[in-house]
Amino acid sequence: MPKLYLLGGENVSQRSAKEINQKAFADTSKPLNVLVFPWARASFDKNCCSRKLFTGYMRSLGALSVEYVEYGESADVVTEKMATSNLIYLTGGQPSILIERIKTAGLEHLLETYDGVIVGRSAGALALCSRFISTIRNTSKVRVTPGLGLASITLKVHYTSQKDETMRQLSLVETIFALPQGSALISNNGKFYTMGKVYVFRNGERQLFSGTLNQSIDGF
């Protein structure tokens, strides 16, 4: 089972979650080879400038190599790329698109059994969870959607307090973890830890966890 870094969001150009990424990189074996799945956007993330920016960011943090998985590559090619990497990075975008493509490519089991670190940013984080909360623009409504289930939680990313009342109502049924941009949950062998501010909605109430990796929220 991989160690998961669930990142609430990041402005890559500003490197606003640099500390979290540094910790994820420190948790991997060396040499560090990063494998990126830029599958969460409808038109994919093939922009040369954005890839150059992201690759430079990863290398500045210590990555020896940064490789991308193109959607449609054969299972053998993807399997080989995963086998030679020790950190997988799932980028942001639309989680439903990312989940559909991972399932269509038959990669669920390979991710579940991956022997390394997986970082999910925004949509990438949501996709890794059992369920996730997505907002519907210009309304007070939210949607609860099944994810891949590598982390057994319900998650909201890019959290702000604007829809707290809806979140409180949903939390009467299930516990929800809410991550502002620049914060993260780390999942390791079934236990969860915080980096930055993490909010938990449970039984109609909201609580704040603000700390470091030594604050376990297992069993909350």
* 127: Cα within 13 Å, side-chain hemisphere: 31
Q: Are 83 and 110 in contact (CB under 8 A)?
A: no
User: Collapsing DSSP states into helix, strand and coil, what is residue 169?
Assistant: helix
Start-to-end Cα distance in the chain: 22
pLDDT tens track for 175-201: 999 999 999 999 998 888 899 999 999
How far, in Å, CA of 21 to CA of 10, rounded? Answer: 10
Task: Say what the pLDDT of residue 47 is.
Answer: 66
pLDDT in tens, the chain (220 residues): 899 999 999 999 999 999 999 999 999 999 999 999 999 988 766 666 788 999 999 999 999 999 999 999 999 999 999 999 999 999 999 999 999 999 999 999 999 999 999 999 999 999 999 999 997 776 667 889 999 999 999 999 999 998 899 999 999 999 999 999 999 999 998 888 899 999 999 999 999 875 544 445 544 5
Tokens standing for residue 58: 């990863």
Q: Which domains does the chain have, with CATH numbers?
A: 3-211 (3.40.50.880)
